[in-house]
Amino acid sequence: MAFLKLVNLEQRVGDKSLLKNINLEIAKGEFFVVIGPTGSGKTTLLRLIDLLDSPYSGDIYFNGMNATALKGERIDIRRKMAIVFQKPVVFNGTVFENIAYPLKMRGLKSREIRPPVNSLLDAIGLSGYGKRKARTLSGGEAQRVALARAVISDPELLLLDEPTANLDPLSVKLIEEMVKEFNKSKGVTVVMATHDMQQGQRLASRAGVLMQGELVQVGNTSAIFRSPDSARVAGFVGMQNVYRGRIVASDGGIARVQVDESVIEVVSELEVGKTVDVFVRPEDIVLSLSGSDSSARNKLPGVITAIHITGPLSMVIVDCGIVLEVMVTIKSVEEMGLRIGMNIFCSFKAAAVKVLPVK
Would you give per-residue pLDDT tens digits along the chain (359 residues)?
A: 789 999 999 999 988 999 999 999 999 999 999 999 888 999 999 999 999 999 999 999 998 889 888 777 788 888 899 999 988 888 889 999 999 999 988 888 889 999 999 999 998 889 999 999 999 999 889 999 999 999 998 999 999 999 998 888 888 888 899 899 889 988 999 999 998 888 888 999 899 999 999 999 999 988 888 788 888 888 888 778 999 999 999 988 999 999 988 899 999 999 999 999 999 989 899 999 887 767 788 999 999 999 998 888 999 999 999 999 999 999 999 999 999 999 999 999 999 998 988 87
Please tell me the predicted confidence (pLDDT) of residue 26: 96
Give the pLDDT confidence score for residue 106 in this predicted structure: 86
Calculate the dihedral angle through the C-alpha atoms of 192, 193, 194, 197, rounding to the nearest 10 degrees. Answer: 70
Query: Quick check: 177 and 10 in contact, CB under 8 A?
Result: no
CA 110/CA 103 separation, integer angstroms: 9
End-to-end CA distance of the chain: 34
Topology match between the domains 4-232 and 240-357: no
pLDDT score at 210: 95
Question: Which residues are registered as beta bridge partners of 356?
Answer: 277
Please count the CA atoms within 13 angstroms of the CA of 348 that sit on its side-chain side. Answer: 25
Given this model, what pLDDT does residue 37 score?
87
pLDDT at 27: 95
Q: Could you confirm whether domain 4-232 is CATH 3.40.50.300?
A: yes
Determine the Cα angle at 145 with ends 142 and 149, to 5°.
140
CA 290/CA 346 separation, integer angstroms: 9
Measured over the CA atoms of residue 183, residue 186, residue 187 and residue 188, the dihedral's sign is negative
Q: For domain 240-357, give the CATH number.
A: 2.40.50.100
Predicted TM-score (pTM) of this structure:
0.82
- Which helix (H) or strand (E) covers residue 142, if one does? helix 139-151
The single-letter code of the amino acid at 187 is G
Q: Sketch the domain layout of the chain as residue ranges.
A: 4-232, 240-357
